[in-house]
Amino acid sequence: MPFRICKSFEIESGHMLSKHPGKCRFPHGHSRKVEVVLAADALDANDMVCDFSAIKHALATFLDALDHALCINTDDPQFAFYRKTYGDRVIPFAKTDPTSEVIARAVFDELKRRLAEATLNPVTHSALPAGVRIERVRVTETSSSWAEYSP
């Protein structure tokens, strides 16, 4: 059985779900918890899957962009208005609603990309041992609701 670690982050994040038939089509926000689970079959030289700071470093810029921002489907009729009004605090999701499921996949994809960079260039990033893999990303939307993505 592999070793697993989890790093959690908390962000305030808004979204609009233009495809939703109910109230969720209007701008609203959540206090989100983002949990990232990494696994490895063996521990590194420091007896770790990897240092938690490597995960923090890998996601810092991406999660900072989502924090106190409004995620919107680029096909939403109001997307251009919000983007012009609030600039980079409006996060575009190309032709898809930024549901918690979609956000979980976006976090997964960003972490995968950044960890690959760290493996290739350990001098500029926290070193990541070979064999570490992302097992899942969970995004909590409310105290009773979450979505998860894993490959």
Query: What amino acid occupies position 17?
Result: L
Q: What is the predicted pLDDT for the residue at 123?
A: 56
24 found inside a domain: no
pLDDT band at 115 (very low <50, low <70, confident <90, very high): confident
Evaluate whether residue 25 is within a structural domain: no
Confidence band of 70 (pLDDT split at 50, 70, 90): very high
| Cα(34)–Cα(102) distance, integer angstroms | 13
Percent share of the chain, pLDDT over 70: 92
pLDDT in tens, 82-94: 999 999 999 999 9
Mean pLDDT on 48-75: 94
Top-confidence residue, 118 or 15: 15
Mean pLDDT, all residues of the chain: 92
Residue 88 lies in a domain: yes
Q: pLDDT category, 131, cuts 50, 70, 90? A: confident
Q: Which pLDDT does position 121 carry in this prediction?
A: 62
Domain residues for 114?
A: 3-19+30-149
> Does the residue 119 lie in any domain?
yes
Give 43's contacts (C-beta < 8 A, 6+ positions apart).
3, 49
Report yes or no on 130 lying in a domain. Answer: yes
The encoded tokens of residue 1 equal: 């059985």
List the structure tokens of 5. 């670690």
- pTM for the model stands at 0.92
* Residue 134: CATH number of its domain: 3.30.479.10
- Cβ atoms within 10 Å, residue 65: 15
Question: Residue 46 domain-assigned?
Answer: yes
The domain tally of the chain equals 1
| 70 found inside a domain | yes
